[in-house]
Amino acid sequence: MDVDTLTKSPQEAADKGTAIYKAKYQTAYEAEHPGKYVAIDITTEKAWVADTPEEALTNAQKANPAGFFHLIRIGSAGVFRVGYTQHNAREWFT
């Protein structure tokens, strides 16, 4: 996958990052680093683990400033949880 494709398709980049994580890192990282964050460079397939998402991305960007990164919370289905209440939703539409 070339860099132009990655910048045009965020979903494809996320899918690639998830595939790299599952193939190379998931088993070991879920045993060794549960609850931490991993930033995966989808261009090099390297990974950086840290306690916070900011720290994982900062470390990854220092190592490869031109990289494209996918962030995963180890052992979790998603990095962040987003929610809203019905009251908030009505305010968005008025």
Global pTM reads 0.74
| Number of compact structural domains in the chain | 1
**Structure confidence by residue, pLDDT tens digits, 12-26:** 888 899 999 999 999
- Structural domain boundaries, residue 37: 3-92
Distance CA 37, CA 21 (A): 12
In the predicted model, is pLDDT for residue 82 greater than 50?
no
Most confident of 30-34, 64-68, 88-92: 30-34
**Structure confidence by residue, pLDDT tens digits, 34-81:** 999 999 999 999 999 999 999 999 999 999 999 999 999 999 865 544
- Cβ neighbours, 10 Å, residue 47: 20
Distance CA 47, CA 84 (A): 32
Distance CA 56, CA 70 (A): 10
Distance CA 21, CA 17 (A): 6
